[in-house]
Amino acid sequence: MMRCVTRYVLALALILSVGSAHTAEPPTSPSQPQLRPALLLTGAANREQSIDLSGRWTYSKDLYRTGLNDINGWVAKSRMQRYRDVDIATAEAQGGTDFFEFDLDRGPTMEIPGAWNAAASELRYYDGLIWLQRRFDAAPKAGQRSFLRFEAVNYRAYVYLNGHKIGQHEGGFTPFVLEVTEQLRASDNRLVVGVDSKHDAQTIPGEITDWDLYGGITRPVRLIHTPATFIDDATLQLTQTGRLQGSLQLNGPQAANQPVRLHIASLGLQIAAHTDAQGEARFDLPAPDALKRWSPDAPTLYQVDFASAQDHLHDRIGFRTIAVRGNEILLNGKPVFLRGVSLHEEELGANPARRIDAAAARALLTEVKQGLGGNYVRLSHYPHSETMLRAADELGLLVWSEIPVYWTVDWDNPAVRDKARRMQAETVYRDRNRAALVLWSVGNETPVAENRTRFHAALAADLRALDPGRLISAALLVKREGNTIRIADPLLPYLDVMAINSYAGWYGDDTLKDLAGLRWDLPTDKPLIASEFGADALAGHHDASGTPRKWSEEFQADYYRATLAMLETIPNLRGLSPWVLKDFRSPRREHPVFQNGWNRKGLLSETGQRKLAFDVLARHYRELTANKKSYDDF
């Protein structure tokens, strides 16, 4: 048997090394090349020479942005420029005419990663620019290149190293990489990042959302050393036709026409290929018979090693297929019902800082998997951290991921559209290897109009080109006509899976009894997910009367019973992600008894206390599984 595999692999290696001169990209849309970030360093956490810059950073508030610009558009005064590489205490000791109106070396500190809103009470609702500084030593070897990789800075980042501007980035939920080979010193580097959390009509999302501001460096920052020519990105996926297809991108002076290798030791697979003139190699081989498909019930991951002459990179990758046939969603060829819940990127606890480390991700997802008996999560309303996606891979939870085109953005502005396209591409390139990720959403509750549909259609077209193996959806608004609920959305033809948010019984005039009388008039030629439904309840607030009032746990539980019964009548319903796993912070929610700055639609309180509705949903999911309505036992 082993000999057979070896022979098969050798034969393949030969075919691949001959046929490895491929075009640089998969099927292209005209503007695709500009969508690929110039540097990716995917799988950075797995790199040996990666230094995590987490810890205490000092900071300096700059509400009027005087560190960036002076009044009248003049250059910022040098005494305000927070990014200067100067020892202010020493300068002050020397005396003279110069003085400074900041000193990051002696500033207050906060824990990074983590949003500033949770760091100090004076920053709770701070929305603007703050400068953050980290000093560190670095000792790259001769000939190495060095990079800073930020996993997320919300919302704009201006990055300076040792007084030099290195780059900037817009978008609060996606990674970016800046090369610092020339600016790095052996010791006592001064990294200063200006972070501006302000949103406006041209940002994504726009100014008003239903979640916390969460400004700051919310995900890890790493200093990474690489060889002169390094593996910038490597991917491998299982196709519908049973092939393993992937690519490896080299970056550096010796990127073109180089031999590279793909190795999956536990499958005895060793594949050789060559990079083309652009430094990209392609892998394409039949999946070996021994390959175990990833699924929520058996989340098998393989260690995959990618190597070039100078560099190597590994990832833990699962292999599965996802498709739509008629109104079914097929996972590995079999119909699956998505038993899920929505969640925000916010850890359990009374003072969350959007700090999702492995333990925080696991704590949330375990409540979904073990607590609710789920197989699915909707990670709303923006790309969650890589850690969350990796935890879903490990635990076995299917994932819906979306970009924050939420409610309304500036639909007519091509610059805003391209910004959304870039953000989406940054997410796709980051997460391509995550088996858990099966659904991309191009927006949430955006009002139907021609310009908005064009905007979403451009995002869907990019996804078809960049990541054809996954499904596309969007959380849509429904139209109410008397007792009938319809979707009249011209975006439907662009989607594989329809999704609707519905709050009848919470918002609006319906009582819970009315829900049974509602009629759903929805197209049935596609699978449908109930992407949101929910009601607020304050944990511990009870109403034992026969008709419980709003805000009580009993009302929320009754709301779930009534809504689940109503949704069951929709013939093509293929998934549920009620709103929401856990109470989350939102400045929109200011009822002084029940809310106090928290959206209370959680099935868990902010500290993880289960409300009555948690059990209603868990029971519903157990029944679905017992009745084999959810076929995910592979």
Residues 479-538 that bind ligand GCB (CB under 6 A): 501, 532
Q: Exposed (0-12), middle (13-18) or buried (19+): which is 221, by Cβ within 10 Å? A: buried
Residue with tokens 């979403």: 456
Nearer to ligand GCB, 321 or 380 (CB): 380
Cβ-contact 477, 445 below 8 angstroms: yes
Nearer to ligand GCB, 66 or 203 (CB): 203
Q: Closest approach of Cβ 213 to ligand GCB, in Å?
A: 15
Nearer to ligand GCB, 378 or 390 (CB): 378
Options 445, 467, 583, 632; binder of ligand GCB; rule CB under 6 A: 445
Q: Closest approach of Cβ 475 to ligand GCB, in Å?
A: 7
Cβ-contact 490, 537 below 8 angstroms: no
Question: Does 210 sit near ligand GCB (CB under 6 A)?
Answer: yes
Enter the tokens of residue 587.
């400045």
Q: Closest approach of Cβ 548 to ligand GCB, in Å?
A: 19
Q: Is the dihedral angle over the CA atoms 159, 214, 609, 533 positive or is it negative?
A: negative
**Opening angle at CA 506, ends 502 and 508, nearest 5:** 85
CA–CA separation, 371 vs 604, rounded Å? 11
Nearer to ligand GCB, 58 or 444 (CB): 444
CA–CA separation, 269 vs 287, rounded Å? 10
CA–CA separation, 345 vs 361, rounded Å? 9
Q: Closest approach of Cβ 94 to ligand GCB, in Å?
A: 54
Q: Closest approach of Cβ 175 to ligand GCB, in Å?
A: 24
Q: Closest approach of Cβ 400 to ligand GCB, in Å?
A: 13
Q: Closest approach of Cβ 613 to ligand GCB, in Å?
A: 14
Enter the tokens of residue 415.
């610059």
Options 601, 602, 617, 632; binder of ligand GCB; rule CB under 6 A: 601
Q: Closest approach of Cβ 474 to ligand GCB, in Å?
A: 12
Q: Closest approach of Cβ 211 to ligand GCB, in Å?
A: 7
Nearer to ligand GCB, 193 or 405 (CB): 405
Residues 233-272 that bind ligand GCB (CB under 6 A): none
Question: Does 441 sit near ligand GCB (CB under 6 A)?
Answer: no
CA–CA separation, 409 vs 417, rounded Å? 9
Question: Does 424 sit near ligand GCB (CB under 6 A)?
Answer: no
Residue with tokens 């690489």: 226
Nearer to ligand GCB, 224 or 491 (CB): 491
Options 572, 599, 605, 630; binder of ligand GCB; rule CB under 6 A: 599
Nearer to ligand GCB, 20 or 444 (CB): 444
Q: Closest approach of Cβ 210 to ligand GCB, in Å?
A: 4
Q: What residue number has its CB nearest to ligand GCB?
A: 210
In single-letter form, the type of residue at position 556 comes to Q
Cβ-contact 207, 462 below 8 angstroms: no
In single-letter form, the type of residue at position 331 comes to L
Cβ-contact 480, 491 below 8 angstroms: no
Q: Closest approach of Cβ 564 to ligand GCB, in Å?
A: 18
To 10 degrees, the CA torsion angle through 164, 129, 135, 101?
A: 80
Nearer to ligand GCB, 425 or 474 (CB): 474
Nearer to ligand GCB, 174 or 501 (CB): 501
Picking from 486, 603, 606, the residue whose alpha carbon sits closest to that of residue 553 is: 603
CA–CA separation, 411 vs 454, rounded Å? 8
CA–CA separation, 194 vs 564, rounded Å? 47
Residues 364-403 that bind ligand GCB (CB under 6 A): 381
CA–CA separation, 39 vs 255, rounded Å? 14
Cβ-contact 298, 501 below 8 angstroms: no
Q: Closest approach of Cβ 599 to ligand GCB, in Å?
A: 5
Interface size with ligand GCB, residues (CB under 6 A) = 9
Q: Is the dihedral angle over the CA atoms 239, 241, 242, 244 positive or is it negative?
A: negative
Half-sphere exposure of 14 (CA within 13 A, CB side): 5
Nearer to ligand GCB, 100 or 440 (CB): 440
Residue with tokens 């106090």: 596
Nearer to ligand GCB, 343 or 388 (CB): 343
Q: Closest approach of Cβ 556 to ligand GCB, in Å?
A: 12
CA–CA separation, 487 vs 478, rounded Å? 5
Distance spanning both ends of the chain, measured CA to CA: 25
Q: Closest approach of Cβ 54 to ligand GCB, in Å?
A: 29
Nearer to ligand GCB, 508 or 540 (CB): 508
Cβ-contact 382, 422 below 8 angstroms: no
Picking from 576, 386, 555, 427, the residue whose alpha carbon sits closest to that of residue 497 is: 576
CA–CA separation, 378 vs 371, rounded Å? 16
Q: Closest approach of Cβ 601 to ligand GCB, in Å?
A: 5
Nearer to ligand GCB, 60 or 599 (CB): 599
Options 20, 154, 444, 563; binder of ligand GCB; rule CB under 6 A: 444
Q: Closest approach of Cβ 194 to ligand GCB, in Å?
A: 29
Nearer to ligand GCB, 213 or 281 (CB): 213
For β-strands 584-585 and 598-599, DSSP reports them as antiparallel
Nearer to ligand GCB, 33 or 508 (CB): 508
Picking from 84, 80, 79, the residue whose alpha carbon sits closest to that of residue 68 is: 80
The three-class DSSP label of residue 306 is strand
In single-letter form, the type of residue at position 612 comes to L
Half-sphere exposure of 92 (CA within 13 A, CB side): 10
Nearer to ligand GCB, 208 or 277 (CB): 208
Stretch 562-581: interaction string toward ligand GCB, x if CB under 6 A? -----------------x--
Helix, strand, coil in percent for the chain, rounding step 5:
25, 30, 50
Enter the tokens of residue 86.
């100067």
Residues that bind ligand GCB (CB under 6 A): 210, 381, 444-445, 501, 532, 579, 599, 601
